[in-house]
Structure 1
Amino acid sequence: MTKGNLEQIVADGEGLFLEFKHRLPESERVAREVTALANTSGGYLLIGVTDDGNLSGVKDPEEEMYALNHALEKYCTPAIALKSEYIKVSRTRTVVVIKIPLSPVRPHYVRDLSTHQRSVFVRYRDMCIVASREARKLMKRSPETENVLIELGEKERLLLHLLEQVGRVSVHSFAKRARIHPGRASRIIIRMTRAGILLHHIGLNEDYFTAGEALRPNSCK
């Protein structure tokens, strides 16, 4: 990547795929930012770029990388594969470009060392937020979650009818309409999403689901 390429990327501003840091923040916070990108769509973490897009750079990129790797080793599980690159922006300053791919071993967890609890984070626009139960479940891949075929029962057909009416559903809106427990509504939605009938969208306060590509009469059994 050249300085010109970097300037083009930065010009678009922070968003779903891009996070700016003037300097590396405290360890647990940066662990959340990196895992959120790896858990959602992948992207870039740029160290040495201010929130307004100024390429301020850092004096010692090796020190920043050491601190980043230490934070990830301390707080993240499983490990995340990163690629790094140093871009000189002045005689004494460098921007550290961290490329974070969409991880094939999601979800990645961040450990709270004081409570020993683990949390999953995702990216919503330019923010790092806690993942919903549905997001966590849908990240996991196994032979049982691939090429899912389901039978459309009464509740599933009610959900499809609700989609036709309003275009999107959430776990709570479906549970209320179907008069079922949110836990059951969540399981139905997860199965239908894995079957390609629904498409998952991360939301700030609540995730929602829209019609997926497999929503055709001959796609489900």
Structure 2
Amino acid sequence: MTRRELEQLVDLGEGISVEFKRRAPRPERIAKEAVALANTNGGRIVLGVNDDGTIMGVEHTSEQEFLLRQAVNAHSRPVVEYQTERIVVEPRCDVLVVTIPESSTKPHVVVPDEEARDDEGQTYVRVEASSVEASPETIQELRNQEDHAGVTFEFGETESLLMRYLDDYGRISVSQLAQLADIPPERASQTLLRLTEADLLHLHPDEDGDYFTLNY
């Protein structure tokens, strides 16, 4: 990446696939950002850029790379893969661009220490320019993403109510479907996820509560 390409990236601002950091934050925080990007669409963490887009660079870039590697190895499970690239902004002062591909082994979690098992910890995804804790529905959707082909289901009364509601209002949450169809939240969640797996619905993680929309 050239200095000009870095400037163009920074001009776009933070978003679902870009996170600015002045320097590597505490280990669990940087692992959280890496996990969220890997669980969503992939993206970049740019170390040496303020939240307002000011390119400051970091000194001792090798130390920043070491801290990043230690944090990701100790606090992400499965360990998130990434690549780094240095862009010189001043003598002995670089911006470190950390590129994280969308993972094929979702969901990744943030664990408190490197001895934790794979099924412990918190799962995060990107929502707009933030990394937020994933809901149970989002976690299940991450697990199901490789197995969507050939999903079948019975289209019953609950599904008919759901489709009519979406035609009228455009979006629905688990609690709204549970109230609409007078069913337990667990069954509402299963119904929405089953239709999402069949590519009829799209799940939208959101800080104020996940919701579902028609996928066409």
For residues 162-221 of structure 1, what are the alpha-carbon distances to aligned partners after superposition, in whole Å with 9 as ceiling and x for unaligned?
A: 1011011111111111111111100000000000110111111111111113xxxxxxxx
List gaps (5 residues or longer) in structure 1: 214-221
Q: Which residue of 1 aligns with 2:109?
A: 109
Displacement of 1:3 after TM fit? 0.5
The secondary structure found in structure 2 opposite 1:89 is strand
Instruction: Quickly say closer, same or farther: Cα 1:143–1:30, change in 2 above 3 A.
Output: closer
Aligned counterparts, 1:190-201, within 5 A? 190-201=193-204
TM-score normalised by L of structure 2: 0.94
Q: Which residue of 2 aligns with 1:209?
A: 212
Instruction: Quickly say closer, same or farther: Cα 1:142–1:163, change in 2 above 3 A.
Output: closer
Contact kept? 2:44, 2:97, Cα under 8 Å? yes
For residues 130-168 of structure 1, what are the alpha-carbon distances to aligned partners after superposition, in whole Å with 9 as ceiling and x for unaligned?
A: 101111000014775433122211111111111011011
Instruction: Quickly say closer, same or farther: Cα 1:144–1:40, change in 2 above 3 A.
Output: closer
Residues of 2 paired with 1:128 and 1:142: CA distance? 20
Contact kept? 2:17, 2:42, Cα under 8 Å? yes
Q: Which residue of 2 aligns with 1:217?
A: none
Aligned counterparts, 1:79-98, within 5 A? 79-98=79-98
Residues of 1 paired with 2:146 and 2:98: CA distance? 32
TM-score normalised by L of structure 1: 0.92
RMSD of equivalent CA atoms: 1.5
The secondary structure found in structure 2 opposite 1:86 is strand
Contact kept? 2:89, 2:95, Cα under 8 Å? yes
Contact kept? 2:145, 2:197, Cα under 8 Å? no
The secondary structure found in structure 2 opposite 1:35 is helix
Is 1:47 aligned to residue 50 of structure 2? no
The secondary structure found in structure 2 opposite 1:79 is coil
2:110 is matched by which residue type in structure 1?
V
For residues 2-57 of structure 1, what are the alpha-carbon distances to aligned partners after superposition, in whole Å with 9 as ceiling and x for unaligned?
A: 01000001011111111001010000111111101111111110011111111111
2:132 is matched by which residue type in structure 1?
I
Instruction: Quickly say closer, same or farther: Cα 1:182–1:120, change in 2 above 3 A.
Output: same
Deviates most, 204-213 or 140-149: 140-149
Instruction: Pick from 155, 158, 180 the counterpart of residue 155 of structure 1.
Output: 158
The secondary structure found in structure 2 opposite 1:94 is strand
Contact kept? 1:20, 1:49, Cα under 8 Å? yes
Aligned length: 212
Residues of 2 paired with 1:143 and 1:92: CA distance? 44
Q: Which residue of 2 aligns with 1:38?
A: 38
Is 1:125 aligned to residue 131 of structure 2? no
Q: Which residue of 1 aligns with 2:179?
A: 176
1:65 is matched by which residue type in structure 2?
E
Give the percent of matched residue pairs that are identical in Structure 1 and Structure 2.
38
